[in-house]
A and B are shown apart, each in its own frame.
Chain A
């Protein structure tokens, strides 16, 4: 009887280990299959000609994605320029100024909005933001600016919720000490709370960047997808994700491999961002 129970325990343990290993297995599979499709072209055409190349004409043997790398970073920076100040000030309001009740109501409400599908954001962008930009600022409206605005709003929930967590975890004694020395609330926030929550806030920005750079459907709806590096904020542009989604269903042969190479570059960028974000968070915990 006891032996049977022991056997069962051991069985359960092995099953659970197998389950736990599945995440690693999936990660491994994703890496292997995207690399297996994406790397051959790097070897064939040359890393420099893909990452540094300016011309994307996959059916005629040019696989340069440099403009898309630049464009991906441009929209990400644009999104951050809009989302970061709004998100951070919203987080500061929630953690420092609002009452407990407002906080309890607003925070989940803002987090809920992370659930609105990206296609809906893209659709609203096309219907409302694009004509606004076209009529008042010029260009077609399908532009770096419109894309940045929509992505900026999309990353708000990420930035708010993570920087709020960072702000709220600053010990109460810091605030009390600062007030005791006669500092005003703003002085306390500016000189004490923000510096001690710095790494968490930074992590929220980087995770927001990760979301912006990985966003696909909303971007192909608003960005215009022209291959050139945008010369102004009113010019259209194509991101790495947009390139994959636009052409994947039509591509075959080397063209398809080229899209997987685009995927490899995207994967590397995301990995670096995640590493930096995790590093930032870890440093905060260590402190």
Chain B
């Protein structure tokens, strides 16, 4: 027992000294903490990866948690930057917000689904449970497996505002808690319909045109495709110089180019 305990202690000391040492190493590094929307997170991680390649002294800690949690974290000063995929509400207006880009919300189907075009009204009816069967939209006699995001999500908030327009999302609609999991459901279930960030659309799912407009960066810029929301960085007061350097990088042509490559709508062409 004593021997084993001793062994355990040695492991512990090693572990702790390791963490201690590496902590020393991080002391002369500049840490930027970011948390919030799971929609914005993957793109922030991408940007951070690129940024840290050129700036080895920086450590950027990116966390999910959701738009609301991110904004809360900024308010409590637990993180420097909060990510939000919805506009700030009145209670949060005292915070600074920086729009880093815009994002289209794409309505997606399984690639095998022959339907290519839907109207905003049809989508609203599907989520309101007025249209329940694919037959009503000209396909086979099979129940529509619609998927939505959970209550409190920024993407859902934007979807409710831009698509549902006051109509309620029905209780019989399935709920998933991230863009990725909605995409997985739609990618595996031929009868599913969901909505995800345009930047995450790939060959696993098929985006539909809405009232004739394909969700593309061009159509968003010209205003033809209307389901669009901003991606915000939220801060409490002024950022320190290091965090500002990162934000400046995102707003620069280089940063915006990365976002554009990911399918988001940046500020340059």
Contact = CB atoms under 8 A, between A and B. Distances in A.
In the complex, A touching B, CB below 8 Å? yes
Interface of A: 55-59, 67, 126, 130-131, 134, 138-142, 220, 224-228, 235-236, 238, 245-247, 249-252, 255
B127 to A, nearest CB: 12
B65 A249 contact: yes
Nearest to B188: A131
B189 interface: yes
A220 to B, nearest CB: 7
B141 to A, nearest CB: 11
A140 B191 contact: yes
B152 A59 contact: yes
Given A55-B171, A140-B191, A250-B153, 14 more contacts: A57-B168, A58-B151, A59-B151, A67-B171, A138-B143, A140-B145, A141-B189, A220-B177, A224-B174, A226-B174, A250-B177, A252-B69, A252-B72, A255-B152
Contact of A225 (B71, B143, B153, B174): B174
B240 to A, nearest CB: 26
A71 B152 CA distance: 22
Interface in B48-91: 64-69, 71-72
List of 10 A-B pairs having minimum Cβ-Cβ separation, nearest first = A250-B66, A250-B152, A140-B145, A227-B171, A225-B175, A228-B171, A224-B174, A228-B172, A252-B68, A246-B177
Nearest to B72: A252
A224 B177 CA distance: 10
18 contacts: A59-B152, A131-B188, A139-B143, A140-B143, A140-B189, A225-B150, A225-B174, A226-B173, A226-B174, A227-B172, A236-B174, A247-B152, A247-B177, A249-B65, A250-B65, A250-B67, A250-B152, A252-B71
Contact of B175 (A57, A140, A227): A227
A245 B152 CA distance: 13
Given A131-B188, A250-B67, A142 B174 contact: yes
Contacts of B67: 250
A250 B171 contact: no
Interface of B: 64-69, 71-72, 143, 145, 150-153, 168, 170-177, 184-185, 188-189, 191-192
A235 B143 CA distance: 11
Contact of B66 (A134, A139, A249): A249
Contacts of A138: 143
Contact of B189 (A55, A67, A134): A134
A224 B150 CA distance: 11
Given A247-B151, A249-B66, A250-B150, A142 B185 contact: yes
A59 B149 CA distance: 14
B147 to A, nearest CB: 8
A68 B247 CA distance: 43
Nearest to A227: B171
Contacts of A58: 151-152
A88 to B, nearest CB: 34
Max chain B CB contacts within 10 Å: which of A138, A226, A228, A250? A250
A251 B70 CA distance: 11
A67 B67 CA distance: 27
Contacts of A235: 172
Max chain A CB contacts within 10 Å: which of B150, B172, B189? B150
Contacts of B189: 134, 140-141
A5 B252 CA distance: 72
Contacts of A224: 174-175
Contact of A57 (B65, B151, B177): B151
Nearest to A54: B171
A250 B170 CA distance: 20
A148 to B, nearest CB: 17
Given A141-B189, A142-B174, A249 B69 contact: yes
A224 B143 CA distance: 15
B212 to A, nearest CB: 29
A55 B168 CA distance: 12
Contacts of B66: 249-250
Max chain B CB contacts within 10 Å: which of A142, A226, A245? A226
Contact of B68 (A220, A228, A250): A250
A140 B192 contact: yes
A247 B150 contact: yes
A255 B171 contact: no
Nearest to B154: A250
Contact of A251 (B152, B170, B191): B152
A281 B243 CA distance: 59
A55 to B, nearest CB: 8
B89 to A, nearest CB: 10
Max chain A CB contacts within 10 Å: which of B66, B71, B171? B171
A228 B174 CA distance: 9
A199 to B, nearest CB: 37
Max chain A CB contacts within 10 Å: which of B65, B151, B173? B151
